[in-house]
Amino acid sequence: VLMDCFAGSPGQFRNFRKDDFEANWIKVAECRFGQVYQVKLKLWREKCALKSFDSLCANNFYRVMDEASNMAKVKFKYIMSIYGLCSEATAVVMEYMSNGSLNNLLASHTLMWPKKFQMIHEASMGMNFLHTMKPPLLHLNLKTSNILLDDHLHVKISDFGLIHWEEGMSKTLFMEHLTARGNISYIPPETFTQCPDPPRTTFDVYSFGIVMWEILTQQKPYAGCSVTTVLLEVAQGKRPCVEMIPEQMPHECDQMIRIMQQCWDQDHGKRPQFSDNLHATDGILCLLYKKDFGSFRLSVKREHVSTQFSGQKSLLHYTVASGDTESVKQVLSLGAEVNC
Ligand code: ATP
Ligand code: MG
């Protein structure tokens, strides 16, 4: 049945066979519903990610497949591309993102402010794209582990459109759906009420507010609190602590904080749309780049800077001695400060 479904759509959504991939599958992550592997497609000579759903029952996997075929139609710079599925492995096949998830990066590296702001801006661009589709495509599972990073640490939104509100769905079932992945921090308070309305774009905007806080602080929200505590306190208007944003923030950060607080407003009607935020985040980025990188960019243009990129664990400081343009590009994409 599967093969029939996807036959006749060349170049669109493929059903790969296991032996379309080279034999060595590298496990990247183990998750609740299965595993993520790095695989290499023999045909394209390209690395891909294969996300298996082996703990889902057949019916649920059929649903995932159906959704994945819709997700595959979404093409945008800041959105993860879906190539197809591998029904033999109950898996979805997608673009491989070499730098993993933002969740992991925030825990392992110290990011500089321009890079933080750039990531916020790029993620907003991706979300804005989904929300300006007709009808809007709601993500409903936006979190730092679903924001992935390419070779140059630019972001792409992944795993969108897998969770749906269905007409007549009970509140309990929907909440189970949402919280099954341990995402309580990203769920807006209006969802906790007795008879919640179907989720709207403002659901994702709320989740994005939490993501912004995580990027700005590099901490986990509500660390050490139980699910029930989070649920009760968020319902009463509590949010992650803004004072945890490092004090040495540039003054442009004030505007980011305002946007973040609007995004997680208790009243969903007061939350902005992603399109509203983009003007502000774009403006902030321009300011920061002029301020921090003007002279460096000039140096790159004049090709005076030949650098050797010595990557340390902290993205705060890189030693740039002598080297190649690839390193320079990488340093710029990291938003690192450069002493020539
Ligand atoms: P959810 O199932 O709710 O999306 P999750 O995001 O935590 O939960 P996965 O989507 O399975 O779990 O991803 C687990 C990890 O696998 C990610 O955090 C990321 O590090 C890695 N990963 C996922 N997709 C890719 C990809 N396309 N390229 C590279 N790494 C990926
Ligand atoms: Mg995910």
* 329 Rama sector, left if φ>0, alpha if ψ -120 to 50, beta otherwise: alpha
The answer to whether the CB of 28 is under 6 A from ligand 1 is yes
Residue 234: both structure tokens together: 């968020």
Tell me what pLDDT residue 173 has.
66
Residue 322: both structure tokens together: 């002598």
| Separation of CA 40 and ligand 2 centre (Å) | 20
User: Ligand 1 pocket test: which of 85, 101, 106, 109 has the largest number of ligand atoms within 8 Å of its C-beta?
Assistant: 101
Nearest CA to ligand 1 atom 14: 29
What pTM, to 2 d.p., does this model score?
Answer: 0.83
For 53-154, list the strands marked E by DSSP: 82-86, 91-95, 147-149
User: Ligand 1 pocket test: which of 26, 27, 31 has the largest number of ligand atoms within 8 Å of its C-beta?
Assistant: 31
Percent of the chain with pLDDT over 70: 74
The DSSP symbol for 28 reads E
Tell me what pLDDT residue 147 has.
97
The answer to whether the CB of 56 is under 6 A from ligand 1 is no
Cα angle 157, 160, 163 (rounded to 5 degrees) comes to 150
Tell me what pLDDT residue 252 has.
83
User: Ligand 1 pocket test: which of 33, 36, 108, 179 has the largest number of ligand atoms within 8 Å of its C-beta?
Assistant: 36
* 41 Rama sector, left if φ>0, alpha if ψ -120 to 50, beta otherwise: beta
10-22: pLDDT as tens digits:
456 789 999 999 9
Tell me what pLDDT residue 5 has.
47
Nearest CA to ligand 1 atom 31: 100
Pairwise CA distance, residues 108 & 315, whole Å: 10
Cβ neighbours around 136 below 10 Å, total: 13
Q: What number of residues does the chain have?
A: 340
| Separation of CA 133 and ligand 1 centre (Å) | 24
Nearest CA to ligand 1 atom 9: 31
Please give the helix or strand (H or E) that residue 294 lies within, else none.
helix 274-301
Tell me what pLDDT residue 197 has.
79
The residues placing their C-beta within 5 Å of ligand 2, an ion, are: 146, 159
Close Cβ partners of 211 (under 8 Å, ≥ 6 residues apart): 102, 120, 123, 142, 143, 144, 147, 186
Nearest ligand for residue 48 CA: 1
3-class secondary structure for 146-202? Answer: HEEECCCCCEEECCCCCCCCCCCCCHHHHHHHHHCCCCHHHCCHHHHCCCCCCCCHH
Nearest ligand 1 atom, CA 34: 11
84-138: pLDDT as tens digits:
999 888 899 999 999 999 999 999 888 888 889 999 999 999 999 999 999 999 9
288-312: pLDDT as tens digits:
666 544 434 333 332 323 333 333 3
Q: Which residues of the chain have pLDDT under 50?
A: 1, 3-8, 10, 292-321, 324, 337-340
Tell me what pLDDT residue 220 has.
95
Tell me what pLDDT residue 31 has.
78
Contact 133, 74 (CB under 8 A): yes
CA 252 to chain centre: 23
Exposure string of 50-76, with b = 16+ CB inside 10 Å and e = fewer, is: bbbbeeeeeeebbebbebbbebbebee
Nearest ligand for residue 181 CA: 1
The answer to whether the CB of 181 is under 6 A from ligand 1 is yes
Tell me what pLDDT residue 303 has.
31
Burial class of 100 by CB neighbour count within 10 A (0 to 12, 13 to 18, 19+): middle
The answer to whether the CB of 35 is under 6 A from ligand 1 is no
At 132, the amino acid letter reads T
Quick check: helix, strand or coil at residue 122? helix
Tell me what pLDDT residue 103 has.
95
